[in-house]
Amino acid sequence: MNKFKCLKSTFSLLQVTIMAKRNLADYKTFNRVLEESKIIVALTGAGVSAESGIGTFRGPGGLWRTHRAVDLASPLAFRANPALVWEFYHWRREVAFAAHPNNGHIALAKYEKKCKEQGRSFTIITQNVDGLHRRAGSENIIELHGNLTKVICTKCKFIEVKENNPICEALRGRGDPSQKDADVPEIPLSELPKCSACGALARPYIVWFGESLDPDILDQARTLVETCDLFLVIGTSSVVYPAASFAPFVVERGKPVAEFNIDEEPASANFQFHFPGKCGSTLPKTLGIDI
Ligand code: BJW
Ligand code: ZN
């Protein structure tokens, strides 16, 4: 090993040792940072809705029938079998519509209200599509990956809100995750959800892998990432881009990042704070919110 490499690995070892000794769940210091911050941003992921009964993507609930949710959430899967992907989304809509915001969502909504009263800004950038932040009372929300209530036309790109459930008659009673694909008759294309403007096939208004995020929404998120004083990373595995790049960017700016997660994710090592446990408990405690 050359001198430089040897020095580099000694330094990495030192970094790891220092990190292990740091008190990452330092409630007292976090409280001071929180109270002093004027622009606070919270990035949320599937973990914040886990306690509402909505399965995460990379956890044990990430399967529907025999399919990984992330495999169905793709333009390729929709082109190959739109009926199957619509069945999956019909089931996801049913689960999300029946779910209730949990104490984590409520703590964030109450803290936003407190910030508003104090002239501070609090925004949620969410990767979730379940609408639970809004239902908990949060107002400043940036939805990066879309929303289950919306559809977009595959032809004319018209976006519309469809809150009716089922979204079309052919999907009534469909999407049972315990069934096998082979035992379920395929829904004809002509009976799947249609665009109200041109009548072509509509698809869920969700950002799938390989698709670009709405540029205006991404700009809004990036502006906050570039200007915030404090960044909270809540219930996300921090592996999906561009959201995964936000916290490292804030760290580079020298601003504090606090993570709330049941596990330590690979990105956690670079964050100033890590509050382990279910965010339905850790968020009310760290934000000082009575539920
Ligand atoms: C708890 C808890 C509790 C549990 N309390 N915690 C740069 C490098 C490499 C690749 C790329 C790159 N830039 C773009 C890409 C490609 C791709 C990507 O990131 N791939 C990576 C996987 C490598 N990104 C894209 O394609 C994006 N598009 C894009 O960037 O366009 C331009 C471009 C394209 C291609 C190349 C280059 C540029 C689009 C991403 C869209 C993501 N869509 C999905 C599907 C939505 C479907 C739906 O909802 O129906 O969004 S994927 C899925 O992952 C979903 C989620 O929003 C997202 C993030 O998952 P999340 O929320 O983190 O969930 P989990 O399950 O992973 O984690 C849950 C966490 O909670 C865990 O940590 C638990 O421990 C924790 N937890 N219970 C606290 N109670
Ligand atoms: Zn259309």
Ligand 1: which of 108, 240, 262, 278 to mutate, most ligand atoms within 8 Å of CB? 240
Distance CA 193, CA 83 (A): 10
Pair of tokens at residue 16:
């790891």
Distance 185 CA to ligand 2 centre (A): 27
Ligand 1 pocket, residue 265 CB under 6 Å: yes
Region(s) of the chain under CATH 3.30.1600.10: 55-98+146-206
Are 254 and 6 spatial neighbours (Cβ–Cβ below 8 Å)?
Answer: no
Distance 205 CA to ligand 2 centre (A): 13
Torsion 5-6-10-13 (CA) sign:
positive
Ligand 1 pocket, residue 131 CB under 6 Å: no
Distance CA 264, CA 48 (A): 15
CATH superfamily membership of 24-54+101-145+213-291:
TPP-binding domain (3.40.50.1220)
Residues in the chain: 291
Topology of domain 55-98+146-206 in CATH is SIR2/SIRT2 'Small Domain' (3.30.1600)
User: Going by C-beta distance under 8 Å and a sequence separation of 6 or more, which residues neighbour residue 245?
Assistant: none
- pLDDT above 50: residue 1: no
> Annotated catalytic residue: which of 90, 133, 145, 274?
145
pLDDT tier at 7, thresholds 50, 70, 90: very low
> Does 57 appear as a known binding residue?
yes
Distance 7 CA to ligand 1 centre (A): 35
Instruction: Give the residue whose CA is nearest to atom 36 of ligand 1.
Output: 210
Q: Is 100 a catalytic residue?
A: no
pTM for this prediction: 0.93
Distance CA 21, CA 232 (A): 22
- C-alpha dist (Å) from residue 266 to 6, 26, 93, 237: 23, 20, 31, 8
Rounded average pLDDT over 37-59: 96
Look at 291 and 30; give whichever has higher pLDDT. 30
Distance of CA 103 to the CA centre of its chain: 16
Ligand 1 pocket, residue 263 CB under 6 Å: yes
Over the stretch 235-286, which tens digit does the pLDDT of each residue have?
A: 999 999 999 999 999 999 999 999 999 998 777 888 999 999 999 999 999 9
Region(s) of the chain under CATH 3.40.50.1220: 24-54+101-145+213-291
Ligand 1 pocket, residue 278 CB under 6 Å: yes
Distance 203 CA to ligand 1 centre (A): 20
Q: What is the pLDDT of residue 22?
A: 59
Q: What is the pLDDT of residue 189?
A: 95
DSSP annotation of 122 reads E
Pair of tokens at residue 258:
């606090």
Over the stretch 63-117, which tens digit does the pLDDT of each residue have?
A: 899 999 889 999 999 999 999 999 999 999 999 999 999 999 999 999 999 999 9
Over the stretch 149-198, which tens digit does the pLDDT of each residue have?
A: 999 999 999 999 999 999 999 999 999 999 998 898 999 999 999 999 99
Ligand 1: which of 89, 209, 234, 286 to mutate, most ligand atoms within 8 Å of CB? 209
DSSP assignment of 211-231: PPPPHHHHHHHHHHHHH-SEE
Are 221 and 246 spatial neighbours (Cβ–Cβ below 8 Å)?
Answer: yes
- pLDDT above 50: residue 8: no
Ligand number nearest CA of 144 is 1
Ligand 1 pocket, residue 43 CB under 6 Å: no
